[in-house]
Amino acid sequence: MLPIPTLLPPIERLEHALEESRPATVAEQVQTSQVAPDLTVQWTNMEAILVDRLIRPGLFANGATEEPDTLMQFSGGVTAIYGVTTLRADRLAVLRGSKRGFAEGAVRIDDPDGKLQASDLAFDWGNRTGFARGVRAEIANLFMTAQEVDIGTERWVLRGVRASTCGREKPLYAIRIPEVRLTPGKGGRTTGTGLEVFGKYLGKGPGTSFSLDKRVLGLRLPMINHRKGQGLGVSWFSGILLNESTSLSAAYATYPRQPPGYGITLVKSSIGADEARGLVAPRSELNEWFNRRYMDNIDVQTPKEEVLEHRAKRESWSIGSYGNQSARGRAESLRIKKPIEFAYERGGPLGRGGYQAQVRLHQIADGEAPAHLRGLVWVNAAHRGPDLGPIKTLIGLDAMGFLGGGTKHAWARLQTTAVYEQPAYRLAFGYTVGVEGGRPLFDFDALPMRRSWHARADANIGPLTASYLVKWDGGTMRMIDKEYILALKVGCLEPFVRYRQFPSESSFGIRFSIDQFTRVLQRRTVTRPSESKRDDW
C-alpha cells in the first residue's frame, strides 16, 4: 500500500490536481450525513468538493480516475459509523464514490473484534483494506502496539510489533517482533521473535512460520512427552495444504518400550476454510469414540460446543497408511497396523442438532497377526431436546458397525443429559445406555460400557474456573472415571491443572487464552455479526 499522503492527500494538494471543481460548502453545527449507503458521518465542520476528473496519475493508490467523485472533509470531532464499526477522529476526509478515506488526530476504532487507536489511518471501506501508523490495539485479552499496520486484500503486514496479554505499560512479559506477514485463514511468518520480561529485553530468536488454517495442523516441531508404561518419547504431527481442497498430514512417534508408530493421510475435501471448525481429515475410529461429548470429556466446555461440533459441515475423502497405532479410551493395543485405508465422511446440521457419518474400508492387523480386509460404518449425532422448565436437555447418539475378517459386529449408544445453567455455574446429569450384537474382530472394537451415569459441574466465579466430571457403572454403581480442570487467573496469567482418569491423562501449566484473537486471524473473509450465522445449541 502507498504511504498515506499519496493514498489520500490533503485538500490543498488535491485542489491543484483538479481541472474543474465546484465551490465548497461549509456548515458550522453538529450534523449527520449519509455519506454512502453503508457509511454515516456525524460532524461539526464540513467541506465538500465535487471532483469531476483527476489529472495526475498515481495521486491515489489505484491511479487516476475519469469518474466524477466528491471529496468531503470533516473536522471538529468526527464520528463515522460503518455497520457495527465506529471510527472517531479529529479530522476525516472521504472520497464518497470510490469509498476511500483518511483520518488523523486521535483516531479510534471500536469494533466487536476489538479496539484500535492510531495517529492516522487510511482506509478503503469498499475493499476493506487500510493502513495505520502509531497503532495501539486491544483484541480479546491481547494488547498490542505496532509502528505500522498494513491491511491488504489478501495479506497483512505488521511492523514493530509488541504484544502481551498483560494490559500494562510494563507488562510481566511481552513478545516483540520486527515484522509479521500473514495471510488470514492461511498462515504467516515472523522475521524474528524476541522476549521481554518485566520491561527487560532478553534477546531475539529466529523467524518462524505458523498456520492459521483450521483444516490442517501446519508444520510443527517434534515434542518430547511421556506415556504411562512407555517412558519418555518423541512425537511429531504436521499437516499442510497441497491446494484449496487437498491436504497431506503425517505423524511419527517413538518410545523406548514400543516400536515406532507412523501415519500418513491424503485428504480431498469440499469444505472451505471459513466453513471448517477443525481438521478436515476424517476422525480415526482408533481415537476416543466419545471425546466430543460434553458428558464424556472435560475438554468439551459447554453443551453448545458439542452441538456445534456435530453441526459443522464435513465432506471429505481420504487415503492413508498407519503403523503401530493405539486404540484410546477402551481395550489397549499399541501395535495396530492399517497398511491401506480408504474413508469417506459427511456431516452437517440436522434439525436442532447435527450429525457426522463415515464409511471406512481398510486392511487391519493387531501386532504380528495377519491383516484382515474390513469395512465399517460410524455415525454420531447430537440434538437439542425439549426444555423442561429451567432444564435444558441434550440427546446424543453413537453407532458403529463392522464387517470383515469372518465376523459381524455392531453397537449403538444413546445418551440423554439434563442441564441446569446459571451465569456463575452449570449442573448436568446424564444417563447412557448401549446395545451390542455379533462378535468383534478385536477386543478394542467392543463397546466399553453398556450403561453408565454421568454428573458434571462447571463454575466460573471471579478469577476461578473449575469443571468436574464423574462417571459410574450403571450396573454396579462403581466409579469408573473422574475428570477435572482447575484454572485461576492471576494477573495476565492463568495457571491450570487438568486430569482425566480414563484414558490416563494429566497436564498442568500456564494458559495465555488468545483463542479469540486467533479466531479473528483464522477468518479468510471479514464478517460482521449481522452477516454471520448464529447457531444456538
| Side-chain-side CA neighbours of residue 41 (13 Å) | 24
Q: Are 44 and 28 in contact (CB under 8 A)?
A: yes
The DSSP element (H or E) to which 374 belongs, if any, is strand 372-384
How far apart CA 470 and CA 455 sit, in angstroms, is 6
Would you state the pLDDT for residue 355?
98
Quote the CA–CA distance of 94 and 98 in Å, as a whole number.
9
The total of other beta-carbon atoms located within 10 Å of residue 80's CB is: 24
Residue 65 has pLDDT above 60, yes or no: no
**Angle of CA points 399, 404, 408, to nearest 5°:** 50
Mean pLDDT of 66-79: 75
Of these ranges, 95-104, 223-232, 436-445, the one predicted with the greatest mean pLDDT is 436-445
**Kind plus residue range of the DSSP H or E element containing 435:** strand 425-438
**pLDDT score for 467:** 98
- Tell which residue, 253, 305, 244, 224, has the closest CA to residue 467: 305
What are the structural domain ranges in the chain? 4-211, 223-522
Average pLDDT over residues 166-187: 85
What's the pTM?
0.78
Q: Does residue 21 carry a pLDDT above 70?
A: no
Determine the residue type at 282. P
Percentage of residues in the chain having pLDDT higher than 90: 50
**Residue 443, phi-psi category: left (phi > 0), alpha (psi -120 to 50), beta (remainder):** alpha
Query: Average pLDDT of 180-200?
Result: 87
Q: Which of 103-112, 163-172, 303-312 has the lowest mean pLDDT?
A: 163-172
pLDDT recorded at residue 66: 42
Mean model confidence pLDDT for the chain: 84
H-type alpha helices, 9-108: 11-15
Taking Cα atoms as reference points, which of 151, 156, 160 lies closest to residue 127?
A: 151
Confidence of residue 455 (pLDDT cuts 50, 70, 90): very high
Rounded Cα gap, residues 146 and 177, in angstroms: 9
DSSP-based three-state secondary structure for 516:
helix
What is the structure's pLDDT at 389? Answer: 93
Q: What is the pLDDT of residue 136?
A: 94
Answer for the pair 234, 224: CB distance below 8 angstroms, yes or no.
yes
User: What pLDDT is recorded for position 276?
Assistant: 81
- Give all strands (DSSP E) within 125-257, no chain letters: 129-139, 142-151, 156-164, 173-183, 187-190, 193-197, 200-205, 209-211, 223-227, 231-243, 246-255
Q: How far apart are CA 281 and CA 247, in angstroms?
A: 8
Amino acid identity of residue 242, one-letter, is L
Q: pLDDT tens digit string along 268-319?
A: 999 887 788 888 899 999 999 999 999 999 999 999 999 999 999 999 999 9
Which CATH architecture does the domain made up of 223-522 adopt? Beta Barrel (2.40)
Distance (Å, rounded) from C-alpha 45 to C-alpha 41? 11
pLDDT, residue 259, reads 85
Query: Residue 534 pLDDT > 60, yes or no?
Result: no
According to DSSP, the β-strands at 209-211 and 223-227 are unpaired
Categorize the per-residue pLDDT at 208 as very low, low, confident or very high, splitting at 50, 70 and 90: confident
Confidence of residue 528 (pLDDT cuts 50, 70, 90): low
Average pLDDT over residues 472-490: 94
